Amino acid sequence: MDDTPGYRPLYRQVRDILVKRIATGVWQAGQILPSEGDIAADLGVSQGTVRKALDEMTAENLVTRRQGRGTFVARHDDARILFQFFKLLPDTGERRFPESRVLSVHLGPESEAARILDLAETESVIRIERVRSLDEQPCIFEHIYLPESLFRGLDQRDLPNNLYQLYSVGYGVTIARATERLKAVAAQKREAKALGGAPGDPFLRIDRTAYALDSRPVEWRISLCRTESVHYLSDLR
Amino acid sequence: MDDTPGYRPLYRQVRDILVKRIATGVWQAGQILPSEGDIAADLGVSQGTVRKALDEMTAENLVTRRQGRGTFVARHDDARILFQFFKLLPDTGERRFPESRVLSVHLGPESEAARILDLAETESVIRIERVRSLDEQPCIFEHIYLPESLFRGLDQRDLPNNLYQLYSVGYGVTIARATERLKAVAAQKREAKALGGAPGDPFLRIDRTAYALDSRPVEWRISLCRTESVHYLSDLR
DNA sequence: CATAATTTGTCCGTATGTATC
DNA sequence: GGATACATACGGACAAATTAT
């Protein structure tokens, strides 16, 4: 897609400028952007060019546009998380947001996490363990790793269900996209017990790396799921 | 998305017309479309409107556009299948197309498949079983169900590795998108043996329904995967 | 409640750039 | 070089939705 860094179309340069303004907090989550015309005048380009830049950003889920109202910086509200980042659904019934119960929060170096998060091996990492439930039924055992440098003090907080909103509102870190790698594995004793299964049961293991607006990896997450009555949904198009 | 069927923007009406021309074989896979200007003149709209319609179709992987050359109906070549429809990758090394070995082909009614494919319960269904390998290592046991009415004679053919290309070239059925539901399950004797595992081993079960251009379900596929050294890749954005 | 102003959505036309043949 | 086709950029006009007056 971008094999010629020597030349970037104007609308893409505009996009980069707008993304940077969001990334650096000039425009914050939920806030309204200036109108297309104002941005165009500000940057000295045509309204159509701004429009194309915003169209791209809409496709990337970075902004939402509403006719007659304006363009808004996308928020990590529950609805968005649910559709964009939470792919585990009950076999029957509605898509729901899972309840979370935190088991532990630790702090210290962790070499594997450091490698994935692109940190020095000795850098401190926040490690969270929690169990998530759908319909009062525990079904996900989750290990989360964060660079402490980006989320200082997060380990002292009461952790909400929707972590990505906390990253955004509390630390100015916006998760823009993620990559998940799935495997089927045999349940360990501890996870099995927490989810009401038996050791050796087949569990779905989701290995997620999440990236911020500037494309840096900022969260590593391992989710072990008991998929008796839930499934992972993937749309191919 | 389409909550007001009373009004469709012009560019979307144009899109629908163009999709129908592909679906009915007026323009076939791999063929070049008329230029934007010619289509615009033909339909009596501006070139910009045709452009927006084609932009949408590009995003849906229905056509590919190449500057200086033209717009082409997307083909189900190996590269496209590999990226759009085959999400299972080796843990280390390159993305590769799996080899396939057909175990059996049967023909007859099958109530569960009929339900998913939206057929009458008595309608005949083609059922294919095959094993797929990555790097000489069998890792997928696959059950495939097709409506015989759409694919008459397919059960008598030599089945190629790339089935979607056969659907397209041989039967004019273009797979446009698919939905996959993933679970972790315990391996059955037969599947385990075929893939070199043991009964009870955790296998990844992929339940796929694939839809044609007109949004009708035309293929149901269950893939059981031994994910020892491969994983399912899902990009969230 | 009606009207005006604002903002995005759609549609059109034109000119120029870039890639391909 | 020339012809063709898509890509980019600009500008204008009207429609539809929302908000302020």
- Chains A, B: CB contacts under 8 A, how many? 110
Are residues A180 and B87, on separate chains, in Cβ contact within 8 Å?
no
Residue nearest to nucleotide D17 (CA to C1'): A68
B10, B8, B17: which is closest to B47 by C-alpha?
B10
The tens digit of pLDDT for each residue in A15-32 reads: 999 999 999 999 999 999
Are residues B227 and A179, on separate chains, in Cβ contact within 8 Å?
no
Structure tokens at B11: 């560019």
Binning pLDDT at 50, 70 and 90, where does residue B7 land? confident
Mutate to test the interface with A, among B175, B181, B205, B208 (most CBs of A within 10 A): B181
Kindly tell me if the per-residue pLDDT of B4 is higher than 70.
Answer: no
Residue nearest to nucleotide D7 (CA to C1'): B67
Are B195 and B139 in contact by the 8 Å Cβ rule? The answer is: yes
Residue nearest to nucleotide C6 (CA to C1'): A68
Kindly tell me if the per-residue pLDDT of A6 is higher than 70.
Answer: no
For residue A186, the chain B residue with the least C-alpha distance is: B202
Task: Please indicate if any CB of chain B lies within 8 Å of the CB of A82.
Answer: no
Burial B173-202 (b: 16+ CB within 10 A, else e): bbbbbbebbbbbbbbeeebbebbebeeebb
pLDDT of residue B176: 97
Are residues B84 and A235, on separate chains, in Cβ contact within 8 Å?
no
pLDDT of residue A2: 36
Task: Please indicate if any CB of chain A lies within 8 Å of the CB of B186.
Answer: yes
Minimum-distance nucleotide, CA of A58 to C1': C8
- What is the Cα–Cα distance from A74 to A57, expressed in whole angstroms? 10
Q: How many CB atoms lie within 10 A of CB A40?
A: 19
Q: What average pLDDT does range A74-92 have in this prediction? A: 95
Kindly tell me if the per-residue pLDDT of A1 is higher than 70.
Answer: no
Question: Which nucleotides of strand D lie under 7 Å from a protein CB?
Answer: 4-12, 15-19
Q: For nucleic chain D, which protein residues have CB less than 7 Å from any of its atoms?
A: A 9-12, 45-49, 52, 66-69; B 7, 33, 35-38, 48, 51, 54, 65-71
Are B213 and B23 in contact by the 8 Å Cβ rule? The answer is: yes
Are residues A236 and B61, on separate chains, in Cβ contact within 8 Å?
no
Structure tokens at B87: 């999400």
Q: How far is A192 from chain B (nearest CA, A)?
A: 14
H-only helix segments in chain B = 10-23, 36-43, 47-59, 78-84, 111-116, 163-171, 189-195
Task: Please indicate if any CB of chain A lies within 8 Å of the CB of B24.
Answer: no
CB neighbours of B184 closer than 8 A, spacing ≥ 6? A184, A185, A202, A203, A204, A205, A225, A227, B202, B203, B204, B205
Give the C-alpha distances (Å, rounded to integers) separating A75 from A35, A85, A168, A219, B197. Answer: 19, 13, 8, 18, 45
Are residues B180 and A207, on separate chains, in Cβ contact within 8 Å?
no
Binning pLDDT at 50, 70 and 90, where does residue A93 land? confident
Are residues A177 and B225, on separate chains, in Cβ contact within 8 Å?
no
Pick A181's closest partner by Cβ from B182, B202, B233: B233
Structure tokens at A143: 């290990």
The tens digit of pLDDT for each residue in A31-65 reads: 999 999 999 999 999 999 999 999 999 999 999 99
* B53 CB burial (10 A radius; 0-12, 13-18, 19+): buried
pLDDT of residue B6: 63
Which of helix, strand or coil describes residue A228? Answer: coil
The tens digit of pLDDT for each residue in B28-45 reads: 999 999 999 999 999 999
Are residues A235 and B85, on separate chains, in Cβ contact within 8 Å?
no
Q: Mean pLDDT for chain B? A: 95
Kindly tell me if the per-residue pLDDT of B86 is higher than 70.
Answer: yes
Kindly tell me if the per-residue pLDDT of A113 is higher than 90.
Answer: yes
Q: How many CB atoms lie within 10 A of CB A148?
A: 18
Q: What average pLDDT does range B65-86 have in this prediction? A: 96
pLDDT of residue B120: 98
Structure tokens at B12: 């979307």
CB neighbours of A17 closer than 8 A, spacing ≥ 6? A43
Question: Which nucleotides of strand C lie under 7 Å from a protein CB?
Answer: 6-14, 17-21
Q: Mean pLDDT for chain A? A: 95
Tokens 């329904």 identify what position?
A: B209
